[in-house]
Chains A and B, each alone.
Chain A
Amino acid sequence: MTVKLKTTTLVSSIVTALVATIMMATPASSAEKAKGWNQGGGEQDAALHLTPNLENGIEVYEVCAACHLYEGWGQPDGTFPQLAGQHQHVIIKQLADIRALNRDNPTMYPFALPESIGGPQSIADVAAYIATLPMNPEPGRGPGTDLKHGEQLYKDNCVRCHGEHGEGIEEKYYPRIQGQHFKYLERQFEWIRDGKRRNANPDMVKQIQGFSNKDMDAVLDYVSRQQPPADMVGVVGWENPDYE
């Protein structure tokens, strides 16, 4: 009898504790509902099948320009990535992921909301516009001290998806990483490797598990120095005439 009572008390206190834990964890765990790397559907699919309107893309991009700059060149210190020249598929996927909380980005989140930039059509428009912007000729680079090692690592681990020179693959949502700011690459790589970036490709997560920080820096330094095709690169000091 006493035993039974004790058990009931124990069970009920466990239940209480559990409920309390769940309640406390709610805000975080709702955000942690990762939908995996690329299940598609939703706004991503909707945006992909819409015909982009570049004029509206200019309008929508103005919100983005507050941080990514009118030129889309981002910050060489890595705070904000270069967007210019990125594949449309990639921008569409990342925007849809950020606003679905499938990619953790508290700084950008409010600007990815429909009330800031609009619905799937706007996503399609701004992605198309971003792809047309000439790229930063002077991205932030690494120290340049371990490039041979970086090149070897790139060839052994990255080429298959990100391409010979980091150009990525549009249809597969693999981003263009050539000429991206070194510090930005570093942060994303770390987050992908260590599981903080929820929408990372699991194949990549597996592929880079063995990378030390030294390997990471070497390969990303190499990547940041890869040249995009000449006709995609802007001239130093270019100012986007769409916002005169």
Chain B
Amino acid sequence: MKKNILKSIVLLSGILLSVSLVSTSVNAAEKKKRDPGKKVYMTKTCMACHGKNGRKAMLEYPNIAGQDKKYIANQIKYILSGKRLGSHDATGNPRAQGMRGSLVTPGDNKPRISKAEIKQVAAWLAKQKPADLKAPKTPLDPASVAAGKKLFKSKCKACHGAEGNKPLKGNPYLAGQKRDYLFIQMQDIKSKARKTPKSASMYGVVKKMTDEQFANLADYLSQIDRNAK
């Protein structure tokens, strides 16, 4: 009798063990299937500049994790076609030239990223958790942040949503974006160095604004935490 009980315990634990083994191997198989958008992100060299999962961009390049899907896809297309350029970067070339160089086969002007891949990477990036706030290198002037907050409400909120955190579809999230990137983009839209279909409607808003006001807005927006609950 005792022997039988022992036997069944051994048997039962054996069954349990194999069940758990099967389930972990199923999990492993599921885990292995990488999101196709992430694959695009890794193999088309996006990660080199925009950092792990789009949250750690180098220099004044933008963080793109959690950005609006349609906005990302459009910007990639504009940059590939040469429609989005921007003011000169440190090399004397239009800002977007570096990115274009990594995605467009020179000579025949053929992009090495397909339309389907653009969709995939935009969808994947939109799902990523936005970058955590990074404290500014030098503390921001509270007066500038307050001025930016006020300006934002009157000038920008309609399209980019409260605190730059609820944009209309196809418009970018601005909350928590890098300060220098925001500042340069506002300048570029004003000077028309950045001239894309959507920026045309923004031009009317920024054309009479000053660098100081851009700085106010950039200071304010760069310190809004998109991950705050």
Binding site for B on A (CB under 8 A): 27-32, 63, 66-67, 75, 77-80, 101, 104-107, 109-111, 116, 183, 186-187, 190
Contacts and interface: CB of A to CB of B under 8 A. Distances in A.
Contacts of A116: 58
A139 to B, nearest CB: 15
Contact of A28 (B49, B92, B102): B92
B45 A66 contact: yes
Contacts of B91: 31, 101, 104-106, 109
Closest 9 CB pairs of A and B: A31-B92, A107-B101, A66-B48, A27-B88, A106-B98, A106-B93, A28-B92, A187-B106, A106-B91
A79 B80 CA distance: 13
A32 B92 contact: yes
A63 B88 CA distance: 24
Contacts of A109: 89-91, 98
Contact of B93 (A30, A78, A104, A186): A104
A32 B106 CA distance: 22
A110 B101 CA distance: 13
B105 A66 contact: no
B47 A187 contact: no
B99 to A, nearest CB: 8
B214 to A, nearest CB: 18
A187 B104 CA distance: 13
Contacts of A111: 48
Nearest to A101: B91
Contacts, number: 74
Nearest to B58: A110
Contact of A79 (B59, B61, B97, B105): B105
B107 interface: yes
20 contacts: A27-B92, A28-B88, A28-B92, A31-B92, A66-B45, A66-B48, A67-B102, A77-B105, A78-B107, A105-B91, A106-B89, A106-B97, A110-B58, A110-B59, A111-B48, A183-B105, A183-B108, A186-B106, A187-B107, A190-B107
Interface of B: 45, 47-49, 58-59, 61, 87-93, 97-99, 101-108, 110, 112
A183 B106 contact: yes
B49 A110 contact: yes
Given A67-B102, A106-B98, A77 B112 contact: yes
Nearest to B42: A66
A110 B45 contact: no
A77 B90 CA distance: 27
A104 B91 CA distance: 7
A123 B154 CA distance: 51
A31 B61 CA distance: 20
Contacts of B48: 63, 66-67, 111
Contacts of A77: 105, 110, 112
Contacts of A78: 105-107
A106 B101 contact: yes
Contacts of A106: 89, 91, 93, 97-98, 101
A66 B102 CA distance: 11
Contacts of A30: 92
Nearest to B87: A27
Contacts of B49: 110
A67 B45 contact: yes
A132 B106 CA distance: 28
Contacts of A104: 91-93
Contact of B98 (A31, A66, A110, A187): A110
Contact of B106 (A31, A63, A67, A79): A79
Contacts of A186: 106-107
Nearest to A187: B106
B48 to A, nearest CB: 4
A101 to B, nearest CB: 6
Contacts of B102: 67, 79-80, 107
